[in-house]
């Protein structure tokens, strides 16, 4: 045999030998090499066909559109971890929160919404109800029982997001009632003021902080209350709830009526006017931004901030830079003139997520996406989305999450995903926060107690087409009238004239529609 023939014969024998060895190896190991990637299990005596099929299944690809509440789009640090934990391939489309509604409406109009579409807030949800009724989004209520974790979501809050009795959305949970007082405890101690228990005592403290030199510098350079141009999340609505004012709507004479038609609302305006007339707050509050309101408190000029008690961390941090000896604390459970405690509550959600039919072709695809959210409501994934990576973004102390002091890192890498987590601690099992600041610890305690005295909005789950179309526009009438009354520019007769104008321009129709829905 010549050399060429021998080489061919030898090559053939070696090839056959290698093939037999490979077959033998595969039969023994139960895996295939898969082109150099990780070994993939195959069906064998020890591996069921179902297990093999699940392991070989490709990750579910999901595109998610959501608002971005920070300056920069977050890196993929958290996203990559979420994908590993949920066996998904995620594409996040972040858009700036300031222009998100415009982007949402434009994308809806062109039929380009992705499979998972977050709204911006509760107001955006109200505006989206028309498209929901037109059948542009999947109804998901009938599927929740198939997903054990989604089935844990709170019925009360789910009901608040229903449209015509049907559920189309999952919600991003928020504490029902975080509103209260953040105040300068060192000022109160200096003046010998006991912890206020009633609304009159709160007003008295505001006046004392203005008139009695609480900082001890012998100068008339302090005020009691710092407020801003926001009648809801500023001081007014919380103050009004202490007077037992209904939360947006209440029942009177057998039917629902807007809060500003109740005498308690007028009493709250009188109280606010009293504080302003006494110079115990920034008199131009109707033109004061939140940034300027915060500055009044953190510069050491104002001693009371009424709003979300969770703001105490940032307020304290910036205050002690300017006044190192300052001590802040939080307070809630204030009694009104009737001797009872009350506070207003949100519907229990900050935002919702919808599932467009234009992007989700069938029920099978919808279920795969809902399965992702079901996995999201496990402690492992929820902690990753809300707190970040343990050891990098937070540590566990006393069974709670203690966030790193590097707030820039949290804002840059975690915040964008944190804002999209559905459910809340009670339903998704994530850690509660660990806090060392006494004011924040008290705030968390008060928030839980507030739920027991919370005034709910009876229209939260109701619909009024006229309110959807004109509600925001009409509300400006009453907002302007409230400011004018507190400023002393109109009296009670002038305020009642504004109510009549509100009713004439569509308010009566809103009342009629809400009551019709309420009686169903």
Is there a common fold for 60-174+348-430 and 179-344+456-461? yes
The answer to whether 270 touches 488, Cβ cutoff 8 Å, is no
Which pLDDT score, from 0 to 100, does residue 520 have? 82
Which pLDDT score, from 0 to 100, does residue 158 have? 95
In 3-state terms, what secondary structure has residue 363?
helix
467-510: pLDDT as tens digits = 988 998 999 999 999 999 999 999 999 999 999 999 999 999 99
Burial status of residue 482 (CB atoms within 10 A of its CB: 0-12, 13-18, 19 or more): buried
Token pair belonging to 307: 């709003």
Checking if the pLDDT of 101 tops 80, the result is: yes
Q: How far is CA 277 from CA 133, 241, 281, 440, 488, in A?
A: 48, 21, 9, 32, 9
Length of the chain (residues) = 520
Checking if the pLDDT of 33 tops 90, the result is: no
Percent helix, strand, coil in the chain (nearest 5)?
Answer: 50, 15, 35
Closest CA to 344 of 122, 176, 482: 176
Q: Highest mean pLDDT range out of 14-18, 252-256, 316-320, 465-469? A: 316-320
Provide the percentage of residues in the chain whose pLDDT is more than 90: 84
175-234: pLDDT as tens digits = 999 999 999 999 999 999 999 999 999 999 999 999 999 999 999 999 999 999 999 999
The answer to whether 464 touches 510, Cβ cutoff 8 Å, is yes
At the topology level of CATH, where does 179-344+456-461 sit?
D-Maltodextrin-Binding Protein; domain 2 (3.40.190)
* Residue 240 φ/ψ, nearest 5 degrees: -65, -35
The kind and range of the H/E element at 116 are strand 116-118
Alpha-carbon distance 114 to 93, whole Å? Answer: 9
Closest CA to 261 of 82, 518, 78, 495: 495
Domain boundaries along the sequence of the chain = 60-174+348-430, 179-344+456-461
Average pLDDT, stretch 83-97? 97
In 374-501, where do the E strands start and end?
394-397, 400-403, 454-455
Provide the percentage of residues in the chain whose pLDDT is more than 70: 89
Token pair belonging to 56: 């070989």
Alpha-carbon distance 25 to 22, whole Å? Answer: 5
Alpha-carbon distance 477 to 294, whole Å? Answer: 27
Residues near 295 by Cβ (< 8 Å), separated by ≥ 6?
none
Alpha-carbon distance 290 to 270, whole Å? Answer: 23
* CATH annotation of 60-174+348-430: 3.40.190.10
Q: How far is CA 395 from CA 80, 325, 405, in A?
A: 20, 29, 11
* Residues pairing with 93 in the sheet: 65
The answer to whether 228 touches 234, Cβ cutoff 8 Å, is yes
Distance, CA of 462 to chain centre: 21
Closest CA to 369 of 166, 157, 147: 147
CA-only gyration radius of the chain, Å: 29
More confident residue, 94 or 126: 94
Token pair belonging to 402: 């203690």
Alpha-carbon distance 182 to 307, whole Å? Answer: 8
Q: Max alpha carbon distance in the chain (Å)?
A: 119
Residues near 86 by Cβ (< 8 Å), separated by ≥ 6?
372, 375, 376, 381
Alpha-carbon distance 276 to 486, whole Å? Answer: 8
Alpha-carbon distance 470 to 507, whole Å? Answer: 9
Phi-psi region of 269 (alpha: psi -120 to 50; beta: other; left: phi over 0): alpha
* pTM confidence score: 0.81
């Amino acid at each position: 045999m010549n050399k060429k023939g021998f080489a061919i014969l030898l090559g053939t024998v070696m090839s056959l030998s290698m093939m037999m060895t490979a077959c033998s190896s595969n039969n023994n190991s139960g895996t295939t090499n898969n082109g150099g990637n990780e070994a993939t299990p195959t069906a064998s005596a020890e591996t069921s066909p179902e297990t093999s099929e699940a392991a070989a299944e490709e990750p579910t690809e999901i595109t998610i559109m959501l608002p971005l509440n920070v300056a920069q789009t977050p890196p993929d640090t958290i996203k990559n971890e979420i994908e590993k934990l949920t066996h998904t391939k995620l594409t996040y489309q972040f858009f700036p929160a300031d222009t998100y509604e415009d982007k949402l409406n434009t994308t809806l109009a062109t039929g380009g919404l992705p499979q998972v579409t977050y709204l911006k807030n509760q107001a955006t949800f109200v505006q989206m109800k028309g498209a929901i009724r037109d059948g542009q989004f999947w109804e998901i209520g009938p599927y929740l029982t198939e997903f054990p974790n989604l089935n844990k979501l709170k019925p009360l809050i789910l009901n608040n997001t229903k449209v015509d009795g049907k559920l189309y959305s999952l919600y991003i949970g928020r504490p029902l009632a975080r509103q209260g007082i953040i105040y300068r405890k060192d000022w109160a101690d200096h003046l010998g003021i006991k912890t206020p228990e009633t609304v009159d005592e709160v007003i008295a403290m505001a006046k004392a902080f203005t008139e009695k030199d609480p900082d001890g510098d012998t100068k008339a350079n302090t005020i009691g209350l710092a407020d801003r141009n926001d009648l809801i999340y500023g001081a007014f609505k919380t103050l009004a709830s202490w007077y037992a004012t209904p939360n947006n709507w209440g029942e009177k004479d057998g039917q629902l009526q807007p809060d500003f038609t109740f005498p308690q609302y007028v009493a709250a305006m009188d109280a606010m006017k009293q504080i302003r007339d006494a110079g115990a707050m920034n008199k131009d509050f109707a033109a004061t931004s939140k940034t300027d309101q915060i500055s009044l408190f953190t510069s050491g000029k104002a001693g009371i901030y009424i709003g979300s008690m969770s703001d105490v961390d940032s307020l304290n941090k910036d205050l002690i830079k300017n006044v190192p000896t300052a001590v802040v604390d939080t307070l809630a459970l204030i009694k009104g003139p009737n001797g009872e405690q009350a506070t207003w509550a949100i519907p229990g959600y900050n935002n919702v997520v919808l599932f467009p039919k234009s992007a989700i072709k069938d029920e099978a695809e919808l279920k795969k996406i809902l399965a992702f959210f079901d996995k999201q409501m496990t402690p492992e994934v929820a902690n990753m989305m809300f707190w970040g990576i343990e050891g990098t973004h937070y540590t566990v102390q006393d069974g709670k999450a203690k966030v790193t002091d590097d707030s820039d890192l949290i804002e840059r890498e975690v915040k964008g995903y944190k804002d999209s987590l559905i459910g809340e601690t009670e339903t998704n099992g994530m850690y509660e926060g660990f806090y060392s600041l006494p004011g924040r610890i008290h705030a968390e305690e008060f928030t839980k107690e507030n739920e027991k005295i919370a005034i709910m909005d009876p229209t939260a789950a109701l619909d009024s087409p006229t309110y959807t179309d004109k509600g925001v526009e009409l509300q400006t009438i009453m907002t302007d009238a409230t400011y004018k009354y507190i400023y002393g520019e109109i009296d009670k007769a002038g305020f009642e004239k504004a109510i009549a104008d509100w009713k004439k321009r569509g308010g009566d129709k809103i009342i009629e529609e809400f009551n019709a829905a309420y009686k169903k």
